Amino acid sequence: MLVTLLLLVGVSSTLALDNGLALTPPMGWLTWERFRCITDCKKYPNECISEDLIKRTADIMVSEGYLDAGYEYLGIDDCWLEKKRGPDGRMVPDKERFPSGMKALADYIHSKGLKFGMYEDYGNLTCAGYPGVLGNERLDIETFVEWEIDYLKLDGCYIQPENMDAGYPAFGQMLNDTGRSILYSCSWPAYQEDAKMLPDYASIAQHCNMWRNWDDIEDSWASMTKIMNWFGDNQDRLAKHAGPGHWNDPDMLLIGNFGLTIDQARVQMAVWSILAAPLLMSVDLATIRPEFKEILLNKDIIAVNQDPLGKQGLRVWKKTERGARSRLEVWRRELQGDALALAFVSQRDDGIPYAANFTSSEMNVQDGLYEVHDLYKDEGVRHWNSEEDFEVRINPSGVKFYKLIRKPSADVVVKSKTDSDSAMSEAVVYTMLNKS
């Protein structure tokens, strides 16, 4: 019952989730976006939510380099349960689809060097109608610990949003009290945003490792840009609460499924990395096309996402001409080592590659000389002085994504002017001085 959690509030609500996890944005794979609630294993043997799917994915994550790239969590979303609890009140995995049980599956996942993630709901039912945790919080946490899970996504269907401010912290404290390190993913603010409440992000950041902020992402460019735009429009109240151990979550990566082109997939990977968002794939890794796999395994972009400075980036410039289809944006993230990541995004979905010039002020870049690396490797390394415009050429619904490394302070720009009797001439000389 709800009182179970509320009685704990006086003890737990002032305590942070001190579990030492998610010091950089979590990376992994979840079932939901690609496989949803497919439970008919006779009709869809390769797509149903089952231990076979999870084991197959674990094998591929290791053999195809996803684990080495940083994707360490392997999570089962909704629809893994029997419709009723067992006689002892415990959660029961679907007996046909998970015949070996969750402890055996966890052992298999751990044997591969991966971490095991699971899903439950704070209400009395999950969003798909399976048993939720409400009234069984301690028992369910004990069960998850016995199964040796490493990540728990706690959804928020079938519970009033106003009760989440007390319940989610209390549940997180109970997780912490077990002594097992379990990453805590909350859906707390997403339901409050939907209810037009104002989530207490300071408290959310104190009690959750990551949290879904807004709408569920769907497999389409329209859904992805809607979420991207919402994050840009609300960044002033969101970004300051993100950092090592606690992250805003714009939802799963669509990359490799049916709704995004290659260019659009590049946009999501770039912007999610600027946002310091969890990188949670949800795709059939057995059938993914190589060009999408290349995006997911791009080590330079992953390095931006995982930057240890842990500072969420911002949309620093946008312009709309002739309607929203021609919208251009600049997204910027500060990185360690006096570097920046800059994503130039075009939301126009027609025409030819769009050429544009940006000033350093539009990009929010300090004066200086920069070494520019194209993170998608379409261009070679170039050097750019902030006194000049920055030229880009962006595909429709595409992105140009760069890392800018500022040259040391001893690298100077010398500008000399000479007068003559008849005219003024200007010579600009760039002099690179070595540090002594």
3-class DSSP string for 11-33: HHCCCCCCCCCCCCCCEEEECHH
C-beta of residue 258 within 8 angstroms of C-beta of residue 220? no
Same domain, 330 and 268: no
Query: Minimal CA–CA distance to 63: which of 114, 24, 107?
Result: 114
Same domain, 360 and 237: no
Counted domains in the chain: 2
What is the predicted pLDDT for the residue at 434?
A: 34
Share of the chain above pLDDT 90, in %: 86
What pLDDT, in 10s, does the model give residues 405-424?
Answer: 999 864 444 333 333 333 33
What is the predicted pLDDT for the residue at 351?
A: 87
431: how many CB neighbours lie within 10 A of its CB? 8
Alpha-helical regions (H) of 297-418: 299-305, 360-363
Same domain, 93 and 152: yes
Q: Residue 327: pLDDT band by 50, 70, 90 thresholds? A: confident
Report the distance separating Cα 119 and Cα 135, nearest Å: 17
Same domain, 225 and 350: no
C-beta of residue 242 within 8 angstroms of C-beta of residue 248? yes
Q: Which residue is catalytic, options 155, 165, 263, 307?
A: 155
Query: Minimal CA–CA distance to 216: which of 309, 282, 290?
Result: 282
Same domain, 262 and 140: yes
What is the predicted pLDDT for the residue at 422?
A: 33
The token pair that represents 265 in the structure block: 């997939």
Kind and range of the H or E run holding 186: strand 183-186
What is the predicted pLDDT for the residue at 326?
A: 58
Q: Residue 319: pLDDT band by 50, 70, 90 thresholds? A: confident
Same domain, 216 and 344: no
Asked if residue 412 is part of any domain, the answer here is no
What pLDDT, in 10s, does the model give residues 331-342?
Answer: 999 999 999 999
What pLDDT, in 10s, does the model give residues 143-200?
Answer: 999 999 999 999 999 999 999 999 999 999 999 999 999 999 999 999 999 999 999 9
Q: Can you say whether the dihedral through the CA atoms of 278, 284, 285, 288 is positive or negative? A: negative
Pairing of strands 247-249, 328-335: unpaired
Query: Minimal CA–CA distance to 35: which of 51, 62, 53?
Result: 53
What is the predicted pLDDT for the residue at 322?
A: 62
Q: Identify whether 155 is a catalytic site residue.
A: yes
Query: Minimal CA–CA distance to 434: which of 416, 408, 414, 415?
Result: 408
Q: Can you say whether the dihedral through the CA atoms of 127, 133, 134, 135 is positive or negative? A: positive
Structural domain of 341? 314-406
Asked if residue 65 is part of any domain, the answer here is yes
What is the predicted pLDDT for the residue at 321?
A: 67
Q: Identify whether 140 is a catalytic site residue.
A: no
What pLDDT, in 10s, does the model give residues 63-119?
Answer: 999 999 999 999 999 999 999 999 999 999 999 999 999 999 999 999 999 999 999
What is the predicted pLDDT for the residue at 409?
A: 60
C-beta of residue 277 within 8 angstroms of C-beta of residue 249? yes
> Residue 25's domain is classified under what CATH number?
3.20.20.70
Same domain, 281 and 350: no
Asked if residue 233 is part of any domain, the answer here is yes
C-beta of residue 217 within 8 angstroms of C-beta of residue 227? yes
CB-based contacts of 312-315 (< 8 A; 24+ apart in sequence)? 312/235, 312/238, 312/239, 312/242, 312/243, 312/247, 312/248, 312/275, 312/276, 313/239, 313/274, 313/275, 313/276, 313/341, 314/232, 314/235, 314/239, 315/231, 315/232, 315/235
Same domain, 389 and 340: yes
Q: Which residue is catalytic, options 107, 216, 349, 389?
A: 216
Predicted TM-score (pTM) of this structure: 0.90
97: how many CB neighbours lie within 10 A of its CB? 19
Mean pLDDT (the chain, rounded)? 90
352: how many CB neighbours lie within 10 A of its CB? 8
> Residue 396's domain is classified under what CATH number?
2.60.40.1180
Same domain, 91 and 202: yes
Average confidence (pLDDT) over 259-267: 98
Same domain, 282 and 320: no
Residue 230 has pLDDT above 50, yes or no: yes
What pLDDT, in 10s, does the model give residues 329-378?
Answer: 999 999 999 999 999 999 988 889 999 999 999 999 999 999 999 999 99
What is the predicted pLDDT for the residue at 18?
A: 78
